[in-house]
Chain A
């Protein structure tokens, strides 16, 4: 008997060395929700890495954890029933420190460091995070605390390639559920995120596919493409597909538990639930060749395309989007000159954008929809095609007199212009804009003109139908506007 026991013990000790699957419990993880298991998990990762890679397996259980350091050729598999739970920092224990970054003045603290995270990897290849388990970032912060030991991201990856995230549920993820900076060939599929700040931040990444994900993030953006200067050089975010996704701004946690609650309308930035798909704000590099399709927005802000730090935002196709209960502009296109980039970076461009088959119900009317460049820098070649928007309405005749400030360098958000003097679209500093088959309707009468145009060269309206209050003009032109063509409504 003793001999058999000894033999078994020997095999158990040796087995990790030969297994393709590295069970973290074999490395001392308890999964009891009390012991800090990150050391054990890191040992399992290290063992796999030393053997050329493999699957690090977390069986059912709750793994209280600080930073987990990924390696190349590692699949971190959270089995169904497994929760990787971010521990609260204690007096002398916590997450890996934020590493030095000499370029951190160009973006927020959260974007500029990677190691102060629950799971992080730098310079890796062939990394997969998967399984039907849960990553619960409870012990992470969404705030700006820079105390040692504080972690603020669930997953952060820098300069990696060939990365897959699949099937996971991610909750309470601090500043980011995923910060991917300079990650090429990234696939995110079937991931459900219900978090207290950003969902997926895709920053300076090339060839990214995000599909079949649900992201509830009432307190910040859900899926957001960025191109910051965090790497210390300009890199575009390009060749991105976002498809079959749901984004929302329900109360935190109520997507995950499927109660879809709406008791907490206000977001920290006082702009109501966020939870949208957005390009920007960090936009030092550019955004190129991006397709967004078949997405559903619910109880959140509208679609935002912003380039304000010098990046080129171009060749974008957005189609088949339905939105309900939208708390600000359903469509917000902004070329600005905040220029949070190395000195001398010229103003960017926004051009060749096609947005089609959009259906919006119950959108806040204060900010209408906005296409706004800045003096001398026009948004160009935008086609809006097959768009139906049902606004709340309620704009007054007095609002018509408002002239929104340019606020060229201001942080872009629809409220930057105050109440908009248009009921449908506010278009300024724009060239070659085409609105085709547009149908606007209003819950309450809106006394503002449907279109407000200023510094527009070439606007073509085909089948533009709107139902403002009869005392409002179809459009208001503040010169100069040229090349206005209106075909049959």
Chain B
């Protein structure tokens, strides 16, 4: 795991830095100095080593060693602490309890096997899923401990499958009886490690497998570290509620270099639920989670759903989700109360996740809201049922999510980007999302939210639908399209009457033949400065039904100017364009792009910009500096041809990234909406020509033919 921490961290850092070189820190610079003061401050003092074998433990995988291991721990504790360790072997055991100043070492070659008999886990007063109650102890327990460590490169296999099966059987039965809300509490199952009311506890390097319930719970504790732990719960199946690490009403916690494969939330922060949680009212705060990976599971980073005591000051950095169901999630319910705030998440990579970001104030109602079925009314019910049924006033029960920062995140191959459901009474507020680059099937939706800002965020939904906003204010979601402008002029084409070529007030041409067949546009680049042509000083100096001439100047051209002449071609549906410079500064590059042939008729008054939605499934074949664009349905395939200057350096690029010509040119071809983008040097010495046309018996061109074609067509015009 050490290896993982460093190489993985470095890879991600390099990757993300390369992606967004300019901005690194979270925007608005919140004070994060508290992140320096998390984790165990001290570790157990060095002392004697106690080998469990000396106390009768047998690593045969069959003998139950609970007493022997506990005896070793007690002996160690009695002498003021030290290390308890094992000889190689497989040790079956029930619950064991550590004391102050003890390091329990599970070295390489040792596997601790959890007992499959629930009686081997004595019941203690604890908190389960946000409710204080009697429940079986964990396999390894640190209760009221100080300076405790659980370490080693060995394995703890909790053998939890038997408890999973028990749960599924009970769940079926309970659901049928309207008791879905209580089954998780009634079905008593062992956690793997519980740290409760403790401080300066370190858990490191272990591999934890097949937890019966949650894997590691840090409850009512402070200054604890979990470092380099690997959790593999999905062994021989997928267990219910096999969370990875739960930080539960605890503070100053550091989790780093962990790798979790489980079947519920991977890294999870909680603080009690409903009336009982509100009564206890202890927050989870000052938590750092960094350099970790989640694999299978329900949440790379989850806050909730137990939020009653509040969750705040959380800094999650350099995390990776690989195939996790949900990336970053905030969840609660309308009877939980509490505020989730000041959550800082940055440098995240997600691949193959179902949902990137979820915020739900009303999560899983069937589980979240307790209701006693009629047949139990008036009957004696267990204590914890009563707790669960205790009503919470709507004001107290209302949870809040605000002040959340999410920045520098790269998402690939994933389902949906966002799903936010606040409530009318509690809007999800003050969310800062910046430097996001996401490849997803769908963008998703936001409801009941306020005051969000999106900065430098590129979401590429394959369905081409932007984020849908409902019942919200102060949210400007990033547009999928480039900046809007009109195509004020229309050129007729040579052949087809329905077809036309639309021209903007700057040199940009949309081919509607009559279906949308693409957009040819230009930009200029000089050194590290660039501009789209609509932002230059441009005017139309002449316009006829088959001809348009533009003049443009700009500081990027020095004292020079460009003349762009576009003529429709008489013997096909197409356009020839001459770009001629005069007195140009040195080093001026012309940018051009072509793409966006949707094959559909344009909607009324819709500007035929280079919209990503027009680019889906466009296929470009580029030969030298000519191209053929294939579009439309397979049964009604269409093509349009282009010939461009021989100096063009052509690339497939991403139309979701058209902020500036270089941004577009360098965006890469991994996109559901590709177009061609190119640059070429521009000089005053000779003009360059572009031709976009439908090929026919008379129209079949190479670049050498264009000057003549231009002159021939120019003569034909008035």
Contacts and interface: CB of A to CB of B under 8 A. Distances in A.
A101 interface: no
B634 A142 contact: no
Contact of B619 (A143, A263, A268, A413): A268
A196 B670 CA distance: 19
Contact of B632 (A139, A270, A413, A415): A270
B669 A143 contact: no
Given A89-B702, A263-B670, A268-B630, A143 B637 contact: no
B2 interface: no
Contacts of B704: 90-91
A89 B643 CA distance: 14
Contacts of B633: 270
Interface in A230-275: 263-264, 266-271
A280 B634 CA distance: 18
Contacts of B623: 141-143
Interface pairs A-B: 3 shortest CB-CB: A268-B630, A270-B634, A91-B704
A395 B701 CA distance: 46
Contacts of B641: 143
A143 B618 CA distance: 16
B700 A269 contact: no
B624 interface: yes
Nearest to B646: A88
Contact of A268 (B621, B635, B670, B701): B621
A196 B702 contact: no
Given A263-B670, A266-B619, A268-B630, A145 B700 contact: yes
A146 interface: yes
Contact of A88 (B624, B632, B635, B700): B624
Interface of A: 88-91, 139, 141-147, 196, 219, 263-264, 266-271, 413, 415-416
Nearest to A411: B635
B53 interface: no
Nearest to B635: A415
Contact of A144 (B619, B624, B695, B702): B695
B619 A270 contact: yes
B617 interface: yes
Interface of B: 617-619, 621, 623-624, 628, 630-635, 637, 639, 641, 669-670, 695, 700-702, 704
Contact of B621 (A143, A270, A413): A143
Nearest to A415: B634
B621 A269 contact: no
Contacts of B639: 268
B621 A271 contact: no
A88 B625 CA distance: 11
Contact of A269 (B624, B634, B701): B634
Given A88-B624, A268-B619, A147 B634 contact: no
Nearest to B633: A270
B618 to A, nearest CB: 8
Given A141-B623, A143-B628, A270 B702 contact: no
Nearest to B671: A263
A219 B623 CA distance: 14
Contacts of A141: 623
A195 to B, nearest CB: 12
A40 to B, nearest CB: 24
Contacts, number: 53
A147 B619 contact: no
A196 B618 CA distance: 16
Given A139-B624, A141-B623, A264-B619, 20 more contacts: A89-B702, A142-B621, A143-B641, A145-B695, A145-B700, A145-B702, A196-B621, A263-B669, A263-B670, A264-B669, A266-B619, A268-B621, A268-B637, A269-B630, A269-B634, A269-B637, A270-B619, A270-B632, A271-B634, A415-B635
B691 to A, nearest CB: 13
11 contacts: A88-B624, A145-B700, A264-B669, A266-B617, A266-B619, A268-B628, A269-B634, A270-B617, A270-B637, A413-B634, A416-B635
Nearest to A149: B702
Nearest to A416: B635
A90 B703 CA distance: 9
Contacts of A89: 702
Interface-centre pick from B617, B670, B701, B702 (highest chain A CB count, 10 A): B702
A275 to B, nearest CB: 15
Given A196-B621, A415-B635, A270 B630 contact: yes
A166 B46 CA distance: 72
A339 B83 CA distance: 87
Nearest to A89: B702
Nearest to A94: B702
Please indicate which of the listed interface residues A139, A142, A145, A413 has the most CB atoms of chain B within 10 Å of its own CB: A145
A142 B620 CA distance: 12
| Highest count of chain A CB atoms <10 Å: which of B630, B639, B669 | B630
A357 B291 CA distance: 48
A327 to B, nearest CB: 11
A144 B236 CA distance: 58
Nearest to B702: A147
Contacts of B700: 145-147
Contacts of B669: 263-264
B354 to A, nearest CB: 15
A386 to B, nearest CB: 32
A268 B628 CA distance: 9
Given A91-B704, A147-B702, A267 B635 contact: no
B718 to A, nearest CB: 30
Contacts of B619: 219, 264, 266-268, 270
A143 to B, nearest CB: 5
Nearest to B629: A268
B640 to A, nearest CB: 12
Contacts of B632: 270
Nearest to B634: A270
A142 B670 CA distance: 24
A139 B637 CA distance: 25
Contacts of A145: 695, 700, 702
Contacts of A266: 617-619
Nearest to B625: A88
A415 B637 CA distance: 13
A74 B240 CA distance: 72
A270 B637 CA distance: 7
Contacts of B637: 268-270
Contacts of A146: 700
A217 B633 CA distance: 21
A392 B545 CA distance: 52
A146 B670 CA distance: 33
Nearest to B697: A146
A198 to B, nearest CB: 14
B666 to A, nearest CB: 16
Which of B639, B670, B701, B704 has its CB near the most chain A CB atoms (within 10 A)?
B704
Contacts of B631: 270
